[in-house]
Structure 1
Amino acid sequence: MTGIIESARVLLPVAFTLLAPLFIWLNRGNQNRREAMSFIAGALTFASVLSLAPQVLAGNIWKYTLFEIMPGITVTFMADGLSLIFGLVASFLWMLATSYNIGYMRSLDEHAQTRYYVCFAVAIFGAEGVALSANVFTLYLFYEVITVFTYPLVAHHQDDEGFGGARKYIVYLMGTSKLFLLPAMVMTYVLLGHLDFALGDVVTGMFPPDVVAKHPLAVTVTYVLYIAGIGKAALMPFHNWLPSAMVAPTPVSALLHAVAVVKAGVFCVCRIILSGFGVTVMDQLGLGIPTACVAAFTLTAASFIALTKDDLKARLAYSTVAQLSYVVCGVALLTPLAVQGGMAHIAHHAFSKITLFFAAGAIYVATHLKKISLMDGLGRKMPWTFGAFAIASLSMIGMPPVCGFVSKWYIVNGALQAGQIIIFLAFMLSTALNAGYFVPVIYRAFFREPRPEDDHFHHYKEAPLSMVIPLCATGAISVLLGLYPALFMDFVRVFGKF
């Protein structure tokens, strides 16, 4: 039996991330103190989320209502197993990203650094709010906070390319949320009279059987609007904002693709499917397999597109589109193994993908190279960077002992458990394509001779330690999570009562 712990303690992660931008701005005159504020806020946020873990692992759920807007619509926070997966990942990676930001922003002498750090902190505030949302209204508020405050990060360079990418970013994400997500929330309120998720119950969800029996079409339309409205999950055809956002500085790309934005997207999909509609309603209305098929198409198509990209960040962007669909597909299959794998992939992909983007940024800072075709022999000059890149690539491919293997193993077996052979084959094809676009990067770096026309090759060296240490740390953690998957799988199991 799930116990509900009514306590304001669940507000602490949100409070720390809310105060962080203020203290960063107040210390704008001293860059050391300004950046220290990000470290301190990250550490306090991580510690506060971690402090919720013992009770959650014991089967309890933290909950606190901040205030009521109107009957059935409140700003309420809660922490369960799924919340802690996202909350812990976002806060922990914020600390490492801050170190990386220092090396990147100072090495390139970037402008508007205070604005950058403030918006970065607010994006994490939004991520923690999404993670701890107890109802659709609260989730929607923080979902939009992430969108608004990552726009200046995407447009950071303030040139035509930056504004163009940021414009597409905001149109896609705001457009889908206003056209689809907001109406879905309204329809939910009309059908139920409230917007509260079913806490501790992934079977029945928030839609009672009598409502589903009386309004099956309305419930189905509501579900479709939710999935279409969560543009941050990057399901095709609402994916193009993600590669367009690559005009941002590389640490922002890491934030978008590994920590706050896309993880908020797939987290919301997981929350809507499992805590919103529940396995019973999804099965009854036949909603799971069509969703899984859309995700399977997305992961296959995005993998093919990634093969064609010579720009390293562009290749990583389409890899992210594909990898996010593993999460959606796993949860939508609704089998115990697939759901566990999908939720675990939220964390596993985060550590591996941020390693890849950290590596891409380190390469650019050290060499100013972006094209994969120009990186011949570079692994000999930057062995730590490319070594971490190789480890994270193995995770994306799904090779043991890196963590991507664990979550993909669960998802693939879940597809077989569901009898979905076509989706299983899509997974296998995507895995082969993953190898096809990651292995050549590693091969070029370590086994190709340097290009004779590259006069600067002998002057290349590793990026600053403040960048190399975080990317090596996240690469090492990717291996650690592969060897000890229980670190996140325990939260998965307690959430779904597996």
Structure 2
Amino acid sequence: MSLHATLPLLVLASSLLSGLIVFFVAEERHRLRSMVNLVGASLKLILVAYMLRGVLHGEEFAFRHSILPNLDLLLVADALAMFFITLSAALWFLTTLYAIGYLEGSPRRSRFFGFFSLCVTATAGVAMAGNLFSFFVFYELLTLVTYPLVVHRGSEQSMRAGHVYLTYTLGGGALLLIGMLWLYGLAGQVEFTQGGVLAALGPEHAGQLRLIFLLLIAGLGVKAALVPLHGWLPQAMVAPAPVSALLHAVAVVKAGAFGILRVVYEIYGVEFAQSLSLLLPLAVAASITIIWGSLRALFQDDLKRRLAFSTVSQVSYIALGAALFGPVGTVGGVLHLVHQGIMKITLFFCAGNYAETLGIHKISEMDGVGRRMPWTTVAFTIGAFGLIGLPPLAGFISKWYLGLGALEAHMPWVLAVLLASSLLNAAYFLPVLQRAWFRPQATDWPDEHIPMRNGLETAGLLLIPPLVTAAATVLMGLLAGSALSPLTWAKLIATREYLLWLP
């Protein structure tokens, strides 16, 4: 087997093996457990960086294993896969650091980090899946390995949230399976191909293909939290902060949104999907989700629930970009895959810091917290401003291209959706910042776990990751035009899907 066929397997193995090893590490061997996790995360970063360079220079990395005749397990590191898996690898490293600090002294850490690594393995598999069957395998594996993370605390509330999570995600998986089998009956094994593969079936299958599209998008829309399939996401906020960060920024919701991109661009093909009148309904569904999630966020006092409904809204920008018929909208949607992940993980890291350091879980408890935890609150402020879309932060770049894409697609009503969303983002984030920075502390903190020590507001491993991701939010905006920016890579992806060059 050649190196180019082996590398996708090695990327999977870097987190799979570290996860399996960690399961057998005794609870008290925290140094060994941390070392295994960080070695695995570092190795994945190195492998992904090597593959990223190769894909940029036109090299192909693919592994194929035939399970049955005309049914293959296929892993391919194409441009879109590398865009997602680079985000996953980078944020896994930071989240591992954060989780080591967050869970210090907690029980069942070996189980947590074991499933944590398996979650990243499944996410990498989703990213590199080269056909619909392989995608389904890793998509469902992701459901199974994230369930123990959601119920990690073992409380009645977390077990109830886990039940809701499984009900939604397994239901979505069933819809995806039905759509996949129906499509297999029509077209055989469907591989992800630039420009799509279904146009050759002819107009006589148009009705069936519309129904299959509905099944596939509904199945993926559960994890992508499209309204009304989003009910599991706020419930899952009972999980520890590192899990919330992983679910929202890297793993579950991103797997659903990523799958929608694959279906639109590389199964149907955007031109064929437009000819079947499938893109406008997807744009409407995404727009409803964007506004609904923002409205629900306004009325949440629990900080993580407000962030959860914000995710419901923000992830649908990705689906909206896919539904805008044109390469500029594609750039905005694909770009938001990374930008939203960086900004949202910053906010969840900060929410975890407030909870772990001062026992703050509610927005009404945050009066004056900016003076007690200034660096955490600076990071939170940058993440919030980014999601609002203030220039020159990363979120502004995504929304700018989505707005231009709406004009290119002759869908000016989308501009109203984007404007309303940004105003609602401001309405649910600015009061939080006003409390944190400008109100005096009203009472003692609910439960101060970590006192100020050596000038640090909280444990170092809790503080470094949000500062890094907040800095990335700034740099991805300021340096958007650079050769190695996510924007440049998103333009490359759009170029390949539409077979034209974007300046």
TM value normalised by structure 2:
0.93
Give the structure 1 partner of residue 42 of structure 2: 43
After superposition, the C-alpha distances for 1:118-168 in whole angstroms (9 at most, x for unaligned) are 010000000000000000111111111111011011111111101011100
Unaligned runs of 5+ in 1: none
| Deviation, structure 1 residue 297 | 0.4
2:218 is the counterpart of 1:228: yes
Q: Distance between the aligned counterparts of 1:428 and 1:280, measured in 2?
A: 27
Unaligned runs of 5+ in 2: 496-500
2:202 is the counterpart of 1:212: yes
Give the structure 2 partner of residue 165 of structure 1: 161
Change (3 A) 1:465 1:457: closer
2:277 is the counterpart of 1:289: no
Question: Which has the higher mean CA deviation after the structures are superposed, 53-62 or 283-292?
Answer: 53-62
- Partner of 2:269: helix, strand, or coil? helix
Could you tell me whether the CA contact under 8 Å between 1:10 and 1:79 is conserved in 2? Answer: yes
Q: Distance between the aligned counterparts of 1:37 and 1:356, measured in 2?
A: 27
Give the structure 2 partner of residue 28 of structure 1: 26
2:175 is the counterpart of 1:184: no
| Deviation, structure 1 residue 71 | 2.4
Q: Distance between the aligned counterparts of 1:456 and 1:14, measured in 2?
A: 40
Q: Distance between the aligned counterparts of 1:86 and 1:495, measured in 2?
A: 12
Q: Distance between the aligned counterparts of 2:152 and 2:22, measured in 1?
A: 18
Give the structure 2 partner of residue 123 of structure 1: 119
2:314 is the counterpart of 1:316: no
Could you tell me whether the CA contact under 8 Å between 1:73 and 1:195 is conserved in 2? Answer: no
- For residues 357-396 of structure 1, the aligned pairs below 5 Å read 357-396=348-387
Could you tell me whether the CA contact under 8 Å between 1:402 and 1:480 is conserved in 2? Answer: yes
One-letter amino acid of the counterpart of residue 212, structure 1 = G
Give the structure 1 partner of residue 498 of structure 2: none
Could you tell me whether the CA contact under 8 Å between 1:212 and 1:219 is conserved in 2? Answer: no
After superposition, the C-alpha distances for 1:233-263 in whole angstroms (9 at most, x for unaligned) are 1101110110010011111100111111111
Could you tell me whether the CA contact under 8 Å between 1:212 and 1:281 is conserved in 2? Answer: no
Change (3 A) 1:103 1:206: same
Change (3 A) 1:344 1:443: same
Q: Distance between the aligned counterparts of 2:359 and 2:398, measured in 1?
A: 34
Could you tell me whether the CA contact under 8 Å between 2:321 and 2:333 is conserved in 1? Answer: yes
Give the structure 1 partner of residue 241 of structure 2: 250
| Deviation, structure 1 residue 459 | 8.8
One-letter amino acid of the counterpart of residue 255, structure 2 = A
141, 145, 150: which is aligned to 2:146?
150
Could you tell me whether the CA contact under 8 Å between 1:381 and 1:460 is conserved in 2? Answer: no
319, 328, 339: which is aligned to 1:328?
319
211, 230, 234: which is aligned to 1:239?
230
Question: Which has the higher mean CA deviation after the structures are superposed, 459-468 or 250-259?
Answer: 459-468
Q: Distance between the aligned counterparts of 1:138 and 1:457, measured in 2?
A: 47
- For residues 257-276 of structure 1, the aligned pairs below 5 Å read 257-276=248-267
Give the structure 2 partner of residue 487 of structure 1: 485
After superposition, the C-alpha distances for 1:267-313 in whole angstroms (9 at most, x for unaligned) are 11111111111112111101111101100000101100000001100
After superposition, the C-alpha distances for 1:35-71 in whole angstroms (9 at most, x for unaligned) are 1111111111111111112232234442220x21222
| Deviation, structure 1 residue 78 | 0.3
Change (3 A) 1:457 1:196: closer
- Partner of 1:52: helix, strand, or coil? helix
Identical pairs, percent: 37
- Partner of 1:451: helix, strand, or coil? coil
Q: Distance between the aligned counterparts of 1:23 and 1:37, measured in 2?
A: 8
Change (3 A) 1:60 1:275: farther
Could you tell me whether the CA contact under 8 Å between 1:363 and 1:463 is conserved in 2? Answer: no
2:188 is the counterpart of 1:193: yes
Could you tell me whether the CA contact under 8 Å between 2:356 and 2:449 is conserved in 1? Answer: no
Could you tell me whether the CA contact under 8 Å between 1:401 and 1:479 is conserved in 2? Answer: yes
Could you tell me whether the CA contact under 8 Å between 1:57 and 1:490 is conserved in 2? Answer: no
Change (3 A) 1:89 1:459: closer
One-letter amino acid of the counterpart of residue 429, structure 2 = F
279, 294, 309: which is aligned to 1:303?
294
- Partner of 2:61: helix, strand, or coil? strand
One-letter amino acid of the counterpart of residue 115, structure 2 = C
After superposition, the C-alpha distances for 1:3-39 in whole angstroms (9 at most, x for unaligned) are xx96322322112122111221243351111111111
| Deviation, structure 1 residue 422 | 2.1
One-letter amino acid of the counterpart of residue 50, structure 1 = A
Change (3 A) 1:60 1:340: farther
2:90 is the counterpart of 1:92: yes
Give the structure 1 partner of residue 63 of structure 2: 64
Could you tell me whether the CA contact under 8 Å between 1:57 and 1:494 is conserved in 2? Answer: no
12, 15, 21: which is aligned to 2:13?
15
One-letter amino acid of the counterpart of residue 213, structure 1 = P
One-letter amino acid of the counterpart of residue 8, structure 2 = V
Q: Distance between the aligned counterparts of 1:493 and 1:72, measured in 2?
A: 33
Q: Distance between the aligned counterparts of 1:261 and 1:31, measured in 2?
A: 27
Q: Distance between the aligned counterparts of 1:364 and 1:270, measured in 2?
A: 35
- Partner of 1:7: helix, strand, or coil? helix
Give the structure 1 partner of residue 468 of structure 2: 473
Q: Distance between the aligned counterparts of 2:269 and 2:126, measured in 1?
A: 19
Could you tell me whether the CA contact under 8 Å between 2:369 and 2:441 is conserved in 1? Answer: yes
| Deviation, structure 1 residue 440 | 1.0
Q: Distance between the aligned counterparts of 1:369 and 1:458, measured in 2?
A: 11
Q: Distance between the aligned counterparts of 2:7 and 2:391, measured in 1?
A: 38
One-letter amino acid of the counterpart of residue 128, structure 1 = A
- For residues 67-82 of structure 1, the aligned pairs below 5 Å read 67-82=65-80
Could you tell me whether the CA contact under 8 Å between 2:38 and 2:96 is conserved in 1? Answer: yes
98, 103, 107: which is aligned to 1:105?
103
Structure 1 stretches of 4+ with a deviation exceeding 6 A read 455-459
